[in-house]
Amino acid sequence: MGKLQTLLAPLKRKLFLEGFLQKLIYFWMAASIVGLAVIVLSKIVFMPDALNFVFGTFGAAFLLAFLYAFVKRPKLQEAAKAADALGGQERMVTALELLGKDETSKIEKMAIEDGMKVGSQIEFAKAYRLRLHKKPFHWMILFIILMMATGFLPSPREEKAQVYAKAKLEQVEKVIKEVEKDETLTGEEKKLLQKEMKGLSKKLKRVASKEAGETAVQKAQQELKKLEKDSVSKDLKQLAQEFAKDGMTAPLAEAAEKGDAKAIEGAIAKLQEQLQQLSKEQLAALGERMGAAASQMSNEALAKALEQLAEALANGEISSGLFDQLSKQMTAQSAQNAELRKALLDANKKLGKTGVQPAAAGQGQDQGQGQGQGQGQGQGQGSGQGRGSGHVEGEEIFTRKAAEKNHYDTQVSGAKNEGGDSSFTQQKTIGEDGERLPYEQVFHSYQNDAMKALEEQNTPYGMRQLVSDYFSTLEK
């Protein structure tokens, strides 16, 4: 039996191939009809996954055809019949039947040997010609051609979306490659960044409009900014929350929140300069703030530096050595995940390169930025660079309560009508009188309120950066 199976094995495999191809034609004909319908629909409604769906359909059809052919694979008896039709003249079937008997006579053995001899002389597999169903095959080819031709029809996706997505995808790919080459990042940090970039890439390939693409990029930038903030050490975050409660320490709070070593050093140096103008009571109040922050620190060295500084300020003393020690401990904390923050910031900058046109940005700032006056009034002043001057030395401004102070008249001029006249509206606001304080003590309160409001309103990252840069120019 084994020798006969060996002789018929090539023919049996060819019969299996024939059955598979016949079923594949029918399954692929069905897949091409479905694919044609999907492609036509994708030319009416934007379907980003249409092509993947079509390929998936053909792949599934291939697997189904193979499984069906495997289940219905030809038996040895069928191969013997096919071999007899190719010149075996019933010797193969006879030999197969005789080999299945428990005992055979001398004549039967001679019949088996004769069948084996003929089987070894004829190459049944080569002699067998595959038979395919021509009509279903032609229909399959027709539907596939129609499907491919339909694919060349214009897509409903906006041209602007294609251009925008292509430009952004190039930026994303560049970021991914740079992250991979960055030896300062750990494997986990690289995976974190690449995960965000690949997620954005996937979304950009699916957007139907430029607006949707911009939204996807903005969300990705916001997520990168969140990761950047999350990478700052727990103690620096806690310090930022505590220092943000006081206008004088607000710059230090902002620097701590970002984990920016240079900004921390600069903010502490500026804070020392301001302390020279404070009374003992004010120094003591600042000392209490430092002491409150010290009690929340998990790092012993940082807690100790804050406690010593708090004690000195409570006694009305200003020790540059203690401030240097605080700066040293805070910058040491800022080293945690510093390379990751840098990579996240670089990625965000690259994604935002084409977000705002320079000319448009300059015009928008010309209209919105102005020159601060002594009484807190703003006079619009558009310069060529879209920047305004911030304040004059020794200037005092109202605190936030002054925005709604009593008996404050506002006057808004309207557009000119056809007669050349303009309308005016006067409004007397209500509220409490604000407190007049030095500019430096109030500025950061306005800055923090503005940035917090932008974050709460889910403002695009690029716009938040513009506002941040604007406040930076005013601070100078």
DSSP one-letter string for 403-418: GG-TTEEEEEEEEE-T
pLDDT at 353 over 90: no
How far apart are the C-alpha atoms of 470 and 265, rounded to whole Å? 22
Phi, psi angle pair for 355, to nearest 5°: -70, -40
Identify the pLDDT of residue 311: 93
Higher pLDDT among residues 3 and 357, named by residue: 3
Q: What is the pLDDT of residues 166-187, one digit of tens each?
A: 899 999 999 999 999 999 999 9
Across residues 325-340, what is the average pLDDT? 93
Residue 333's CB is within 10 A of a number of other CB atoms, namely 23
Phi, psi angle pair for 248, to nearest 5°: -70, -35
Cα-based distances in Å from 289 to 259, 261, 292, 306, 352: 20, 21, 5, 9, 38
Q: What is the pLDDT of residues 264-278, one digit of tens each?
A: 999 999 999 888 888
Across residues 120-125, what is the average pLDDT? 89
Pairing of strands 370-372, 378-380: antiparallel
Closest CA to 239 of 103, 341, 333: 333
How far apart are the C-alpha atoms of 319 and 465, rounded to whole Å? 36
- Residue 370 pLDDT class (50, 70, 90 cuts): very low
Residue 165's CB is within 10 A of a number of other CB atoms, namely 25
Identify the pLDDT of residue 367: 40
Residue 161's CB is within 10 A of a number of other CB atoms, namely 20
pLDDT at 426 over 60: no
Higher pLDDT among residues 434 and 183, named by residue: 183
What single letter denotes the amino acid at residue 102?
D
Identify the pLDDT of residue 357: 41
pLDDT at 360 over 60: no
Identify the pLDDT of residue 395: 52
How far apart are the C-alpha atoms of 358 and 347, rounded to whole Å? 20
Closest CA to 64 of 26, 16, 15: 26
CB 399 within 8 A of CB 382: no
Identify the pLDDT of residue 307: 94
Pairing of strands 422-429, 396-398: unpaired
pLDDT at 430 over 80: no
pLDDT at 151 over 80: yes
Q: How many residues does the chain have?
A: 476
pLDDT at 85 over 60: yes
Across residues 63-79, what is the average pLDDT? 94
Q: What angle do CA 470, 473, 476 make, to 5 degrees?
A: 150
Identify the pLDDT of residue 144: 95
Phi, psi angle pair for 445, to nearest 5°: -65, -45
Radius of gyration of the chain (CA): 40
Identify the pLDDT of residue 155: 78
- Residue 210 pLDDT class (50, 70, 90 cuts): confident
How confident is the prediction for the chain on average, in pLDDT? 80
Element (H, E) at 429: strand 422-429
Identify the pLDDT of residue 256: 93
Identify the pLDDT of residue 435: 57
- Percentages helix, strand, coil for the chain (3-state, rounded to 5) are 70, 5, 25
Identify the pLDDT of residue 304: 95
Across residues 313-336, what is the average pLDDT? 92
Identify the pLDDT of residue 17: 96
- Residue 207 pLDDT class (50, 70, 90 cuts): confident
How far apart are the C-alpha atoms of 476 and 468, rounded to whole Å? 13
